[in-house]
Amino acid sequence: MSDQREHVVFGGTSGIAMAWCRLEAEKGAAFRLVGRSGERLEAAAADLLARGASSCHTHQADLACTEEIDAVLETLPHTRPSVVLLAHGLLGDQAEIEQRPALALELLRLNLDCSIYLLLRITPWLEEKGCRRLVVLGSVAGDRGRAENSVYGASKAGLEAFCSGLAARLEAGGVKLLFVKAGPVRTAMTAHLDLGPAAIESKGFARRLQRALRSQRVFVYIPRRWGLIFLVLRHLPFRVFLRLFPARQARTSASDG
């Protein structure tokens, strides 16, 4: 068995995760990618090996299913993790969710419930193996609920609250958590949206993530400007906030009359 530490990525096919993994592969890093599609994981592994990764193993699991999380973790106990990255998630379609509220439960199950379950399950392993850094991808959407993505925002706000407590718990065990509040990034998740000029490419995001990993910070905004923007947005009175981010229905009635 190799003695090299490995980056373990949950949601190994994510656009953001892959951009970061590619930068790490160029430095000869080793990987374990966990995801739901064997075919997409294999393609991701081939990409990383071609860029210089020293090894890349893939593990198939639906991360919205606790039994599959348990099963995949059974295959990892001897792995010595370097960085562990949680990059799986669903954005969901708010209009569709409002038509079929059961979809909200699916989103919350993956983004929040099962992510907390996964984090609780891996905590002893991270401490025992001396993991260098645990990275969880959150979102600026968790900073203040908007009509356009309130369920997604709630899932990220809940994850952040959990990670705030987990960070304290992990520090005591010698593991540092990094919770990233990401602004819009151009990936498959956002390909159907008009993100405007504020969005960044996944490669630029990955470079910023590498820098954040060299710091000792626990909560970071990427890009950093979102920290300042949300400092203001979080404190705006509700009516002012509503004028800036009107709900779809409000826009319809305004045009009606």
Binding site for ligand NAP (CB under 6 A): 11, 13-16, 35-37, 40, 62-64, 87-90, 110, 137, 139, 182, 184-185, 187-190
Q: 110 vs 154, which CB is nearer to ligand NAP? A: 110
In whole angstroms, the minimum distance from the beta carbon of 40 to ligand NAP comes to 5
Burial (CB count within 10 angstroms: exposed 0-12, middle 13-18, buried 19+), residue 256: exposed
- Closest-by-Cβ residue to ligand NAP is 89
Q: 40 vs 57, which CB is nearer to ligand NAP? A: 40
Distance CA 251, CA 245 (A): 10
What's the longest Cα–Cα distance across the chain? Answer: 70
Q: 64 vs 167, which CB is nearer to ligand NAP? A: 64
Under DSSP, the state recorded for 70 is H
Q: 80 vs 116, which CB is nearer to ligand NAP? A: 116
Q: Per DSSP, what are the bridge partners of residue 34?
A: 10, 59
In whole angstroms, the minimum distance from the beta carbon of 49 to ligand NAP comes to 18
Distance CA 63, CA 93 (A): 20
Q: 224 vs 243, which CB is nearer to ligand NAP? A: 224
Under DSSP, the state recorded for 216 is -
Distance CA 182, CA 205 (A): 9
Q: 90 vs 147, which CB is nearer to ligand NAP? A: 90
Amino acid making up residue 92: G
Of the candidates 37, 41, 49, the residue with the CA atom closest to the CA atom of residue 17: 41
Helices (H), the chain: 15-25, 38-50, 66-74, 94-99, 102-108, 114-129, 150-172, 202-214, 225-235, 238-244, 248-256
